[in-house]
Amino acid sequence: MSWFNKLFAAAASVPSSTDIVQAVERLKPSLPDSFTLQELAHQARDRFDQIDPGKPEHASKTRTTLLSILVCLRHQDGIIDEPSSDEAAVQELALGIARAISPVATPESSESEATLPNLALIRQTVTARCRAAADAGLQALKTLASQHPTVRLDDDVLLTLIAYADAAEPWSADDDHRRAVAARLVEQQLGIPGASKEAFLAETVLQRHLRPLFSRSKPPSITASGRKAEYPEGGAGRGESMPDESLRTKPWKYGDLRAVPAVAWAVREVDSTLLAKTWPLFTPVLLALADDPATPVRRRGLLLLADFLAKLPGRTLRDTGLASVFADAAIPTLSFLPNLTPADESLELLPPAYGVLRVLAGKQQPADGALLDRVLREGVFSGYFHAKEHVRIVEVLCREAAAVVGDLGVQAVKHLKDLIPMLASIMTDPFAPAAPATLQAAIQALQAVLASCWPRIPGSAWQDEIINALVLCWLHVAEHDQRSSNQEAYPRIERDLLVTARALASVLKTAETDLASHTRPLVDKEPRLAKLFAVSDL
């Protein structure tokens, strides 16, 4: 038995719950007096080759091997320097460690015709292995990089580190230290003299890593070069055909799980100069993510698409015709509503979808009113019609309506016939105070309407409907407040109603109309309204 296998046997007896530092101290007596880095790399490679990825003990044996490597690397005094072979040994060892912890499904477990349940199980198995082995593997890479700071590790190692630096992924989401170690290693590697962050991002991440993985997921609305397709391939439009969920079509989703973190890293790190050259490489990737049927993937894709669009110049969108492509990618998500879509999933998807469309509209100067009109009609109003009984969905729609109206400004007046009835219906519902967050969102949306559409309010039918909404909402809140134990929500709602009443008074003054003249008969009949409309005299 080799000395490394003896060390492995000792490491196998260390409970998995043992802290890494304590485990290293416990295993020091099992180390040989001396060894070369090349010898360690070869021994570790042989040990990795003996681990059967199809066996249940795969994760524990991987962790034990990594822990053994870490103990050896921490025993720096025992490592015999061999300048002629050390760099190659560092590369081999680092690559072996990275592949052991990499969130990539093994070929043995990833059958191209696997069923969806099996594909989901593969993801769970990969995640479990990563969580078990990550700390020992990352600490080993950290130690190796610190001992050889001038050696630029293989690109495959960096892709794995980027995956562990991503807070949205299950193998690192609950461990700040793990993410910090990975992020520092990426930064250190890209800062080595001679390394080029721009070349790594453009050539390695976008061109060599992501492009092949997403090649079969490209939507028909764009060409292979990432530009708008004048004649889209295939007869089916978006969403008209069943998605092909398999490793063959989506290796980025069921095979190499480093893909999405790599997209996120590239979107975050790309600057305007590099983006001007590489945007066609981003386009098919982001559209594929934003169109994926899985809610977590679609949500992530929409969030990344919004970040990408925020960096992309408006002129590029206009010149390439991609503005309509991105809009058509996000708008279908606005209809992901109950009861066809579970309410919890709708709540995850709606805000990022609206976010993409608002960023897209804002890239035009002035803002693209036609797109924002479409967002209100096909998103807010249609969504309210189909899901008005779901109070949390209504809350989201009210908040998005307020934002879109603010973006439209006075152009929003064309939507008053839909906005005012919708908001009034929410505010006058006797049961509305039972959902204070939704009611507050509706009141704040009404404030946005008053701020943007004030020229059309005085003397219109909307004026009386707004007063009626304020009156009934105020009385319903007062009655509900007396029966509720929630001592925080209702004072906030009352303050918002007072602000809205003051805003309405200011709007009417622009037309030389006094709000008090309209509300005095109401106050005489119901004294509880005196506080609400007292602001009109200020």
Q: How much is the average pLDDT of 203-225?
A: 88
> What is the pLDDT at residue 220?
82
Q: What band does 1 get if pLDDT is binned at 50, 70 and 90? A: low
Backbone dihedral angles phi then psi of residue 461, each to the nearest 5 degrees = -65, -25
363-421, pLDDT tens digit by residue?
A: 987 888 999 999 999 999 999 999 999 999 999 999 999 999 999 999 999 999 999 99
Q: What band does 235 get if pLDDT is binned at 50, 70 and 90? A: very low
| pLDDT of 504 above 60 | yes
| pLDDT of 234 above 60 | no
- Residue ending a domain, choose from 175, 195, 215: 195
Of 172, 392, 359, give the one whose Cα is nearest residue 265: 172
Share of the chain above pLDDT 70, in %: 93
> What is the pLDDT at residue 93?
97
How many folded domains does the chain comprise? 2
Q: Answer yes or no: is 126 within a domain.
A: yes
> What is the pLDDT at residue 223?
76
Of 22, 17, 150, 117, give the one whose Cα is nearest residue 74: 22
> What is the pLDDT at residue 239?
43
CA distance 140 to 94: 8
Q: What band does 243 get if pLDDT is binned at 50, 70 and 90? A: low
Q: Answer yes or no: is 364 within a domain.
A: no
> What is the pLDDT at residue 294?
94
Give the 3-state secondary structure of residue 406.
helix
Q: Answer yes or no: is 236 within a domain.
A: no
Using omega within 30 degrees of 0 as the cis cutoff, is the peptide bond preceding 366 cis? yes
> What is the pLDDT at residue 47?
94
Q: What band does 58 get if pLDDT is binned at 50, 70 and 90? A: confident
Q: What band does 538 get if pLDDT is binned at 50, 70 and 90? A: very low
**What are the CA-CA distances from residue 510 to residues 145, 454, 502, 514, 536 (Å)?**
69, 9, 13, 10, 13
Q: What band does 524 get if pLDDT is binned at 50, 70 and 90? A: very high
Q: Answer yes or no: is 177 within a domain.
A: yes
281-324, pLDDT tens digit by residue?
A: 999 999 999 999 999 999 999 999 999 999 999 999 988 889 99
- Residue ending a domain, choose from 164, 195, 226: 195
CA distance 361 to 405: 12
Q: Answer yes or no: is 127 within a domain.
A: yes
- Residue ending a domain, choose from 177, 195, 213: 195
| pLDDT of 128 above 70 | yes
Q: How much is the average pLDDT of 265-270?
A: 98
Q: What band does 199 get if pLDDT is binned at 50, 70 and 90? A: very high
Show the domain range for 172: 3-107+114-195
Q: How much is the average pLDDT of 436-447?
A: 97
Q: Are 166 and 264 in contact (CB under 8 A)?
A: yes
> What is the pLDDT at residue 537?
45
Q: Answer yes or no: is 179 within a domain.
A: yes
Q: How much is the average pLDDT of 344-369?
A: 94
> What is the pLDDT at residue 56?
81
Q: Is the pTM of this model over 0.85?
A: yes
Angle at 450 between CA 439 and CA 497, to 5 degrees: 40
CA distance 311 to 174: 29
**Average pLDDT value over all residues in the chain:** 91
Q: Answer yes or no: is 500 within a domain.
A: yes
Q: Answer yes or no: is 99 within a domain.
A: yes
> What is the pLDDT at residue 238?
38
Q: What band does 116 get if pLDDT is binned at 50, 70 and 90? A: low
